[in-house]
A and B are shown apart, each in its own frame.
Chain A
């Protein structure tokens, strides 16, 4: 019960942060990616602040966690291909998974189309590559 409450609150902080930072606005995200056009650097402030808080906390907590980090192997083709595809989809819609899901609550039609399509893409790749970790 306590775990569920904490997890819900954690999700709520995350969702509130996405919305207040403007990251749930697709145009603000594509404007960040539009470095050759009218560039909006807001996303840097969002990621910078999130990274500072997360890495600061992780520094103090790292001894109590055994989380997957680096395999030590060379960077895999799957990682490179996957990240490149993700970037292409991100630039197309201005949606990454968090903001797309967050916008479901506002019943945005773009979200209602994007999220089921994303689920299909995930199921597809999880079957093709037998990802079960």
Chain B
């Protein structure tokens, strides 16, 4: 069976994401969810910001190397009807929601679920379903 290259790249990427999460957890002793790492830098009483900056700098650097060296990684397509205003609203909601809900795709979806946390499993199902409903409504009501 020959697998679609985007699936094999997905598996390879997933292995790297899982290994990076694990390595960050070993190095820092914290659950390295991206929204938590980013959000905690923004607190007024911010302590321990050092490793968080380093982790995010690594994330940007690692992705930048891939963008430049792999054609598939450099693909960037904006879905139909997503103006910059939509991106501004989406950013606001994602920031608000991830901190209120205690995590995003990485903190809940990978780390939390990977540690068997019930709350993370619930959160993951909720944000996936909410995302699916949103994409469906956007397609039928806005761009349809």
Q: What residues of chain A have their CB less than 8 Å away from a CB belonging to chain B?
A: 3-4, 6-28, 30-31, 33-37, 40-55, 57-58, 61-62, 65, 67-71, 75, 78-98, 100-106, 108-110, 113-126, 129, 131-132
Q: Is the CB of A80 within 8 A of B122?
A: yes
Having A54-B114, A85-B94, A97-B38, one finds 4 other A-B pairs with CB under 8 Å, namely A83-B101, A86-B94, A92-B134, A113-B84
Min distance, Cβ B139 to any Cβ of chain A, angstroms: 6
Residues of B within 8 A of A40 (CB): 6
- Rounded to whole angstroms, the CA-CA distance of A129 and B32 in the bound complex is 22
Min distance, Cβ B115 to any Cβ of chain A, angstroms: 6
Q: Is the CB of A116 within 8 A of B14?
A: no
- Rounded to whole angstroms, the CA-CA distance of A116 and B134 in the bound complex is 22
- Rounded to whole angstroms, the CA-CA distance of A72 and B64 in the bound complex is 40
Min distance, Cβ A52 to any Cβ of chain B, angstroms: 7
Q: Is the CB of A7 within 8 A of B51?
A: yes
Q: Is the CB of B90 within 8 A of A85?
A: no
Chain A interface, DSSP helix/strand/loop, else mixed: helix
Interface size class of B (residues with CB under 8 A): 35 or more
Q: Is the CB of A20 within 8 A of B84?
A: no
CB contact between A19 and one of B39, B63, B111, B132 (< 8 Å): that residue: B63
Q: Is the CB of B6 within 8 A of A81?
A: no
CB contact between A125 and one of B11, B61, B79, B100 (< 8 Å): that residue: B100
Q: What residues of chain B have their CB less than 8 Å away from a CB belonging to chain A?
A: 6-7, 9-32, 34-35, 38-39, 42-43, 45, 50-51, 54-67, 70, 72-79, 82, 84, 86-102, 104-106, 108-119, 122-124, 126-136, 138-139
Q: Is the CB of A105 within 8 A of B22?
A: no
Min distance, Cβ A2 to any Cβ of chain B, angstroms: 8
Residues of A within 8 A of B92 (CB): 89, 117-118, 120-121
If A15-B60, A20-B9, A106-B76 touch, whether A93 touches B20 (CB-CB below 8 Å) is no
Question: Whose C-beta in chain A lies nearest to the C-beta of B113?
Answer: A51
Task: Count chain B CB atoms within 10 A of each CB in A25, A48, A57, A97 and give the residue with the most.
Answer: A97
Provide a sorted-by-A list of 21 A–B residue pairs whose CB atoms are within 8 angstroms: A8-B54, A13-B17, A15-B20, A16-B62, A17-B16, A19-B74, A26-B77, A48-B11, A55-B116, A78-B102, A82-B102, A86-B94, A87-B131, A92-B82, A95-B94, A98-B104, A101-B34, A105-B67, A110-B78, A114-B88, A117-B90
Residues of B within 8 A of A68 (CB): 31
Q: Is the CB of A49 within 8 A of B50?
A: no
